Structures are given as C-alpha cells and as structure tokens.
Chains A and B, each alone.
Chain A
Amino acid sequence: EAGVTQSPTHLIKTRGQQATLRCSPISGHTSVYWYQQALGLGLQFLLWYDEGEERNRGNFPPRFSGRQFPNYSSELNVNALELEDSALYLCASSLGTNSYNEQFFGPGTRLTVL
C-alpha cells in the first residue's frame, strides 16, 4: 500500500514569489494535515482539511492557504514568500474524524526561499 506522497521534493523560490506544494494521502484517508518544520522552531501545525473542508488552521498568516480536492489530495499555497518561509513542509493523512487520528507522514517538500 502506497504511503503519503508529496511533490516536489525540493523547491527553490525567490522572495515575493508564490510556492505550490502537493500531497496525496494514503488511499482511504480523508483527512490531510500540513506542518512546517523550520530550523530551530520544531514542527508547527499549519492546516487541517477533512472531506474537502478546512477544519482548522495554525497561527500562520493568511498568505498560507490551501485546499483539498474531491480525491482527497491537497495543495498548500504560500504567497509573497519571505526568507523565513524556508523550511521542510510535511503533509500527513489520517482516516478522518471518526478514527483514532493516527497520522501518517510523507517525506516532505524542502522549500528554500532566496
């Protein structure tokens, strides 16, 4: 069974540009979560989508946004990139709100902002 997949593996952008990161959950999982792992800051919760709806977002500015598609895959968009947005972005999936919420993570997308 395929795990959570993320693309691209690496992404290099310059300040002010936009970045789009993609995630495909494990088959049968309806919830997708996004986390940011910046150097020295640990793992921070960004967004949670379930059944196509945004259920919760962390303490991040509105230029971090996303969506979940009918096939449960998800996209994270970061507008007006800043140097401090450089981080490993991790996507996780779970069976959704009627489960024990065991989250399974993908390999991550390394975003570098120059």
Chain B
Amino acid sequence: KQEVTQIPAALSVPEGENLVLNCSFTDSAIYNLQWFRQDPGKGLTSLLLIQSSQREQTSGRLNASLDKSSGRSTLYIAASQPGDSATYLCAVSPGYDYKLSFGAGTTVTVRA
C-alpha cells in the first residue's frame, strides 16, 4: 500500500523567504505526482504535475522536483507572499491505477 508523507506538517515564514516543502512516498512505481493547494474549507487547485519520466516541472515561482528512486519530491516556492498561505498537498498515482494517494499536507503561513 502506498504511503505518502509530508514534512513539516506546518511552516511559518516571513514574506519574501523561499519555501521548501517535502513529500516522500514508499512505492517508487508511480505514474505521476501532483502538487495541490487547498485553502480552508475549499477544493484543491492543481499546481504542478510531474510525470514519472520527468525530474522537475516549473510554473512561475513554483518548481517541483521528483526523485523516483528515493521516493521523494520537493516543492519550492520562491519569494513567498501572504497569498501563498494555504495547505499544500502532494499526491501520487500508481502505475496500475488512476486513484491518487495523498499526503496529510503542509500548512504554510506567510507573515507580512
């Protein structure tokens, strides 16, 4: 059974600092990995998808890396802003199935 872990559970940084969020998974036979953002009580917003054959993806201030062999992904958010405050979730999709297995998330607070 795939287990997804996100560390730290919570993070508080001053505005302008770079954010580093970690995700690890136990089964390296994944199809892809997705990073999401969730605001309190809301649905999920897809941030980045990394296919299993890729090592990183970038979108604006966001960059996500994937190391399948070690079962790790890292989401970097450059020059954080108060609007980046949210819970960030990573999820992996196994090669044989399309359901997503989620980590518990990292709750980020960016202080103005």
Contacts and interface: CB of A to CB of B under 8 A. Distances in A.
B45 interface: yes
Contacts of B31: 100-101
A31 to B, nearest CB: 7
Interface in B65-112: 89, 91, 93, 97-105
B28 interface: no
- Specify the main secondary structure of chain B where it touches its partner: strand
B62 to A, nearest CB: 15
A42 B44 contact: no
Interface residues of A, number: 28
Contacts of A83: none
Interface in A24-51: 31, 33, 35, 42-43, 45, 48, 50
Chain B interface size, as a band, is 20 to 34
Interface stretch (A13-21, A70-78, A103-111): A103-111
A92 B65 CA distance: 24
Closest 8 interchain pairs by CB?
A105-B44, A43-B102, A45-B99, A107-B43, A105-B43, A102-B49, A108-B43, A101-B98
